Structure 1
């Protein structure tokens, strides 16, 4: 997990949207075209990561005057993996 912090009103949503498009495994080839001509295309380490991750993008803005509801499926999968691979205590800390 990575936390991207920026001051208020400093394009956080744009940064997150761009990061989603860069990393998201869905439509990876289509998204790659968005970065053509940009400096990131010259970085082999960055490009190795392009289109390799499932990305969950959430916005918790107040919509329609109502609080958002967050539904998470398979939330227990990382803990099951930790148990199976012997690092459960570290995972729950």
Structure 2
């Protein structure tokens, strides 16, 4: 797939199916993310996949607490709870500044 075609076909997903993502697909997604370019090739990110439902609920609570601090949160991030609260698997991607 050409870059231009990929950009044209890009879409935002805000509704998720209740089916689990197969482990092999998760590995492919993480490998693609790991190979993504970064400024000055710093690659200062971490990838964490949360599969446990109890941990996922705790992370949702932590996210709510974090989002209450409006000084650090952009308007887009302030909308995250309504979009991202009911994952079956949660990807946490962070850099050294977040």
Fold match by TM threshold 0.5: no
**Is the strand fraction higher in 1 or 2?**
2
Greater relative contact order, per chain length (Cα 8 Å cut-off, separation 6+): 2
TM-score by length of 2: 0.33
In the superposition, the TM-score normalised over structure 1's length comes to 0.34
